[in-house]
Amino acid sequence: MLVVQPIGFQCSVYERDIPPVLASHLERIYQSPFSAMTYFELFRHAHHPIALVIFNGATDPVHVLMFTVTGKEATLLNELVTIEQQYLTYFGDFIFSRYPHVTTVNFNCIHGRPDNGSFPRYLWKCSQDIVIPLPTSPEAYNGQLGSRTRKHLKYYIHRLQKEFTDVTFTVSTTDSIEQSMVENIITMNRQRMKLKHVKSGYTPDFEKNIQLFSRHYGSVGTLRIQGKVIAGSICYLVGDHQYLEVISHDPAYNRFNVGHICLYHTINHAIATGKSAFHMLWGENEYKYRFGGIKKELYFSSIYRTEYNKLLNLPKILVHSVSYLINQTHYLVTKYFFSRRKPAT
């Protein structure tokens, strides 16, 4: 049922049966895999989310806000999205009005600084999305790169092709992605993390979900020598945006810098297929900036019904703050200390 709201918006609320058309609206509005219905099901385990669909004088909705209510907390599922302040304020007012038992509303990994002025809140940077705005041609992109980066890429590509005569780069999408492609790339990631004495975040369950999600939005690029995968990228495509899940390579080919060669080919393929942005997501690795990435901060925010409710959440707030501080310290130490002990590539 369509309800006219006092502030001029119109909204529909779906607490049980979600209309299938909302999946396409989510893709159209946000162009983010982290705001896709399939993502909510696979990675957030939100099999029965609630939908608040907001209209503002148009036939199509301006926002489809998916959320869950668990205990005293409501959590917005949409991530890596931009939601204008008026709609964030409206969402908070809606939750506290419709669900009297809810004391906390959480917004995770969204652009901008949400500020529901009428409620106590806490806000902190939780991550970042390193984004390359893509030009209309590979030649134009190559011209955007720094001279040192261009020189190194040209050198390593030539060196690889000189030593191996059968070097190919191919891209497979959705149904054409073979299970072995994803397995190979994630296995290489685990091998490289093991060499660094770091535990890979790609658990068997996570890998399974990537396999399933790739059937809907996947784009897998593989760099091969005589058919053998030596580097690969797993990306997601939504609208004209491309998102990098993982880039990895066989450590046996470190001297050819094949990971960067694969990434370079992946970006150029995105340009050739008409993408407008290439998201390298979180993790402030230096190579992302050398490839033209621009940092966009992502924020976590919670609003509370009362100041007392905010006080009760202080332990969780401290955990988030300390975690972010540790991550930033690690990045700065890596950037300004370790990276200066070896030449950049």
Q: What is the pLDDT of residues 309-341, one digit of tens each?
A: 888 877 766 766 666 555 555 444 444 444 434
Share of the chain above pLDDT 70, in %: 87
Give pLDDT tens digits for 123-144.
Answer: 877 788 999 999 999 999 999 9
Residue 342 has pLDDT above 50, yes or no: no
Q: What is the pTM of this model?
A: 0.86
Give the burial class of 47: count Cβ atoms within 10 A of its Cβ; 0-12 exposed, 13-18 middle, 19 or more buried: exposed
Q: Which two tokens stand for residue 107?
A: 């917004």
Report all structural domains of the chain as residue ranges with CATH numbers, in order of start. 3-127+296-338 (3.40.630), 135-275 (3.40.630.30)
Q: Given this model, what pLDDT does residue 8 score? A: 66
Q: What is the mean pLDDT of the chain?
A: 86
Structure tokens at 248: 């990895």
How sure is the predictor about 228, in pLDDT bands with cuts at 50, 70 and 90? very high
Q: Which of 39-53, 291-305, 323-337 bottoms out in mean pLDDT, i.e. has the lowest?
A: 323-337
User: What pLDDT digit, counting tens, does each position of 232-285 carry?
Assistant: 999 999 999 999 999 999 999 999 999 999 999 999 999 999 999 999 998 878
Question: What is the maximum span of the chain, computed from C-alpha positions, in angstroms?
Answer: 70
pLDDT band at 16 (very low <50, low <70, confident <90, very high): confident
Question: How far is it, in rounded angstroms, from Cα 185 to Cα 218?
Answer: 13
d(CA 119, CA 140) in angstroms, rounded, equals 47
101 alpha carbon, distance to own chain's centre: 32
269, 141 Cβ separation under 8 angstroms: no
Structure tokens at 7: 């502030």
Measure the CA–CA gap between 224 and 32, rounded to whole angstroms: 29
Euclidean distance between CA atoms 65 and 18, whole angstroms: 12
Quick one: average pLDDT of 78-83? 92
In this prediction, residue 36 has a pLDDT band, given cuts at 50, 70 and 90, of very high
Judge residue 335's burial from the number of C-beta atoms within 10 Å of its C-beta, 0-12 exposed, 13-18 middle, 19 or more buried.
middle
